[in-house]
Amino acid sequence: MFVITGGAGFIGSAIVWKLNTLGHKDIIIVDEGKSVSENKKRNLAPLSFDNYIDKIEFLEKIRGNKIKDIKAIFHMGANSSTTEKNRDSIIENNFEYTKNLAEWSVKNNVRFIYASTAATYGDGSRGFSDDEKVIPELKPMNYYAESKQMFDMHALKNNLFKKIVGLKYFNVFGPNEYHKGDMRSVVLKSYQQIIKEGRVRLFKSYNGKYPDGGQVRDFVYVKDAVDMTFFFFEHPEINGIFNVGSGAARTWNDLIKAVFNALNKEPVIKYVDMPESIRDKYQYHTQAELNKLRKSGYKKNITSLEGGVRDYVVNYLVPDKCLEKGDSVRS
């Protein structure tokens, strides 16, 4: 039995899709109970799985050893809002919950792969190395990143990285993200703006090293992120913390132009003022170092920004559909 927490969410439902394409239906999805959104339900509609369990109920079942024969736990569930103001709530949801699942998994010899985040790198001034020695030096800039950093530190101090895998996801985009609200990727946001207004709004730059729209990010297509994630299930001998990204820094302008090109339209971009509340916390550059991932044995090619955006827009956004279990791994 595979367990995917946050399984009705973005990366979680994409992992369910991946398992389905490989013929697996022996899946337990753990997510919000009765409060689960309609868009999350939509993510799951085309997929096959055995059971859906509320996240609190699942933790109780785990503590009571009421679920047997688990092959692996893909722990993708979290409050991923970078603007969350309730620190206690996000620490409980992201740190304490992860700690409980990880300790149970290690004790019961169950493969445990969890989502950390590139947000732990803060402003990027300390680089983007996934060497475990770097973890204590990082300075997250919001409660979400802090909660993830707390568990990374817990795993480091307690030698859990000898038995579990943490994945620092960079800017993941792709199907099944409608439910994410303000945390949706800029690909989806820009597509919706283009359809409605014919143009896209981007923040102006407040750093002289970067022109407007020239701020850069490591954008990674969700199908690649899932392939990288599943690699660690297939190789239980490999443990530690790893970056999940494309390894390439691309500008917001590049991203928006790729969306326009996928729609066969000329780019129209309007640069707008960045809210003062986030100017001091804004990241101008992210780029995943992938040497550690490659040295571990991951050999697949990574989809280009333009290729990922085109697949997402043409095959999912335009027809307005979610990932389906019959889809190929790469369209």
Residue 109: what residue type?
A: N
Rounded average pLDDT over 101-116: 97
Does the active-site annotation cover 180?
A: yes
Rounded distance between C-alpha atoms, residue 278 and residue 134, angstroms: 25
316 is catalytic: no
Which pLDDT tens digit goes with each residue over 232-289?
Answer: 999 999 999 999 999 999 999 999 999 999 999 999 999 999 999 888 888 899 999 9
- Model pLDDT, residue 189: 97
CB neighbour list of residue 3: distance below 8 Å, 6 or more residues apart: 27, 28, 30, 58, 67, 70, 72, 73, 74
Confidence band for 328, pLDDT divided at 50, 70 and 90: low
Percent of the chain with pLDDT over 70: 98
**pLDDT attached to residue 127:** 95
Is residue 82 very low, low, confident or very high in pLDDT (cuts 50, 70, 90)? confident
Q: What is the pLDDT of residue 163?
A: 97
Nearest-angstrom CA–CA distance, 1 and 4? 10
Give the per-residue pLDDT at 329. 43
User: Helices H, strands E: what count in the chain?
Assistant: 12, 13
Q: Token match 């044995």: residue?
A: 297
* Sign of the torsion angle spanned by Cα atoms 138, 142, 145, 151: positive
Average pLDDT value for the chain: 95
Residue range 2-173+219-247+285-302 in CATH 1.10.645.10: no
Q: Is the pLDDT of residue 330 over 70?
A: no
Contacts with 133 (C-beta within 8 Å, 6 or more apart), sequence order? none
Q: 61, 180, 292, 321: which one is catalytic?
A: 180
Number of Cβ within 10 Å of residue 324's Cβ equals 14
Quote the pTM value.
Answer: 0.95
Report whether 74 contacts 2 (CB < 8 A). yes
Question: What is the phi-psi region of residue 6: left when phi exceeds 0, alpha when psi lies from -120 to 50, beta otherwise?
Answer: left
pLDDT in tens, 159-204: 999 999 999 999 999 999 999 888 899 999 999 999 999 999 999 9
Looking at residue 90, its pLDDT comes to 94
Catalytic site residue from 144, 169, 221, 298 = 144
Domain positions in the chain = 2-173+219-247+285-302
Using pLDDT thresholds of 50, 70 and 90, give the confidence band for residue 331.
Answer: very low
With left for phi above 0 and alpha for psi between -120 and 50, is residue 65 left, alpha or beta?
left
**Looking at the predicted structure, is the pLDDT value of residue 34 above 80?**
no
What's the half-sphere exposure (Cβ side, CA atoms, 13 Å) at 21? 17
